[in-house]
């Protein structure tokens, strides 16, 4: 059996990056930040993608990027801004279950275990929605679930792209390029370039670039590569560990303080995701 260990790289990259995106949003508007991160990734992958060539999967990659990175990641950033990465990540990763439950639309049966997993996800999201001291997190939860729905579509498009023989580098580049182009239009249309923060240091920009490259270049490349090797199911099993790791890392580095109820909610959701794709 092919080794799914490659999926550990995006799991770790995507566990850390949301924590710092919330920090960055204290200085950057959410649309501007998403434009910055996708532009950095596109620039880094342009020459490698040109070397490997643009196969038929490139068009699926463009569609995936427009849906999942431009719209989905923007909603994820909003969810992170509202309630923190340690809470937003488990909610957004419910997209894994949505992928499983969307099987009837593709003419596939839904295993009974997926309905059990769905019930577990509902319980987990409810636990996360209570917040510290019972403070509601309705807006953040809504943004997170919206991102999960959009990511479901983007995930299917990645799967289609990998079946065409197109290089994983080209697929990753296409996703970043489409998102960056769409976000650039949105930022210009809404006049957000005028709100570029003053006094941003080279060191701060360098850190944004580093986290963006880790997320959208290294993490995404290994994610697409893992899908091409072992398929969506095994890849998702490993990357589903990411939201729980986000909670652990956020607390460890002192950026956020998820409560015990938050940990329980996150653990229930992660368990449900693994159950849905493993059985």
Q: What is the pLDDT of residues 227-262, one digit of tens each?
A: 888 776 677 777 878 888 888 888 888 888 877 888
Instruction: Categorize the per-residue pLDDT at 224 as very low, low, confident or very high, splitting at 50, 70 and 90.
Output: confident
Pair 45, 173: CB distance under 8 Å: yes
Instruction: Give the pLDDT confidence of 38-80 residue by residue, as tens digits.
Output: 999 999 999 999 999 998 999 999 999 999 999 999 999 999 9
Q: Residue 273: is its pLDDT beyond 80?
A: no
Length in residues, the chain: 279
| Among candidate residues 22, 27, 12, the one with its CA nearest the CA of residue 87 | 22
| Cα–Cα dist 114/158, whole Å | 22
Query: And the tokens for 265?
Result: 């909610």
| Among candidate residues 170, 164, 135, 134, the one with its CA nearest the CA of residue 49 | 170
What pLDDT, on a 0 to 100 scale, did the predictor assign at position 103?
Answer: 59
- Which secondary structure element, helix H or strand E, spans residue 61, and what is its range? helix 57-64
What pLDDT, on a 0 to 100 scale, did the predictor assign at position 102?
Answer: 67
Q: Residue 19: is its pLDDT beyond 60?
A: yes
| Among candidate residues 218, 256, 217, the one with its CA nearest the CA of residue 88 | 256
What pLDDT, on a 0 to 100 scale, did the predictor assign at position 1?
Answer: 46
Q: Residue 126: is its pLDDT beyond 80?
A: no
Q: What percent of the chain has pLDDT over 90?
A: 38
What pLDDT, on a 0 to 100 scale, did the predictor assign at position 110?
Answer: 63
Residue of 240 and 226 predicted with greater confidence: 226
Pair 151, 68: CB distance under 8 Å: yes
Q: Which of 14-31 are b and which e, b meaning 16 or more Cβ less than 10 Å from the residue's Cβ?
A: bbbbbbbbbebbeebbbb
Instruction: Give the pLDDT confidence of 113-125 residue by residue, as tens digits.
Output: 777 777 777 787 7
**Mean local confidence (pLDDT), 16-40:** 92
Q: Residue 105: is its pLDDT beyond 90?
A: no
Instruction: Give the pLDDT confidence of 137-185 residue by residue, as tens digits.
Output: 888 889 999 999 998 888 788 888 888 889 999 999 999 999 999 999 9
Displacement of CA 246 from its chain's centroid (Å)? 12
Q: Residue 107: is its pLDDT beyond 70?
A: no
Contacts of 60 (CB under 8 A, 6+ apart): 157, 158, 160, 161, 164, 171, 174
**Mean local confidence (pLDDT), 212-241:** 84
Q: Residue 33: is its pLDDT beyond 80?
A: yes
Ranking 18-27, 30-39, 195-204 by mean pLDDT, the lowest is 195-204
Ranking 84-93, 127-136, 165-174, 217-226 by mean pLDDT, the lowest is 127-136
| Among candidate residues 36, 120, 33, the one with its CA nearest the CA of residue 80 | 33
Pair 265, 128: CB distance under 8 Å: yes
Reduced 3-state DSSP string for 92-136: HCCHHHHHHHCHHHHCCCCCHHHHHHHHHHHHHHHHHHCCHHHCC
């Amino acid at each position: 059996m092919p080794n799914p260990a490659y999926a550990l790289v995006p799991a770790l990259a995507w566990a850390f990056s949301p924590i710092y995106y919330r920090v960055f949003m204290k200085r950057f508007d959410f649309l501007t930040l998403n434009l910055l991160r996708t532009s950095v990734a596109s620039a880094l992958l342009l020459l490698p993608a040109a070397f490997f060539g643009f196969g038929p999967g490139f068009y699926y990659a463009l569609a995936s990027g427009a849906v999942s990175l431009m719209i989905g990641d923007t909603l994820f950033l909003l969810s992170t801004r509202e309630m923190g990465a340690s809470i937003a990540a488990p909610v957004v990763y419910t997209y894994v279950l949505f992928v499983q439950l969307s099987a009837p639309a593709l003419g596939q049966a839904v295993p009974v275990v997926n309905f059990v997993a769905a019930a577990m996800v509902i319980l987990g999201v409810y636990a996360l929605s209570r917040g510290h001291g019972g403070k509601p997190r309705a807006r953040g939860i809504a943004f997170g679930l919206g991102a999960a729905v959009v990511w479901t579509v983007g995930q299917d498009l990645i799967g289609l792209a990998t079946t065409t023989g197109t290089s994983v580098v080209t697929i990753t580049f296409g996703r970043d390029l489409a998102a960056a182009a769409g976000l650039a239009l949105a930022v210009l249309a809404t006049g957000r370039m005028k709100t570029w923060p003053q006094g941003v240091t080279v060191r701060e920009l360098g850190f944004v670039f580093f986290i963006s490259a880790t997320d959208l270049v290294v993490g995404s490349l290994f994610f697409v590569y893992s899908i091409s090797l072992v398929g969506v199911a095994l890849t998702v099993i490993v990357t589903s560990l990411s939201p729980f790791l986000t909670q652990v890392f956020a607390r460890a580095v002192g950026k956020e303080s998820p409560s015990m109820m938050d940990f329980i909610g996150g653990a229930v959701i992660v368990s449900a995701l693994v159950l849905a794709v493993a059985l």
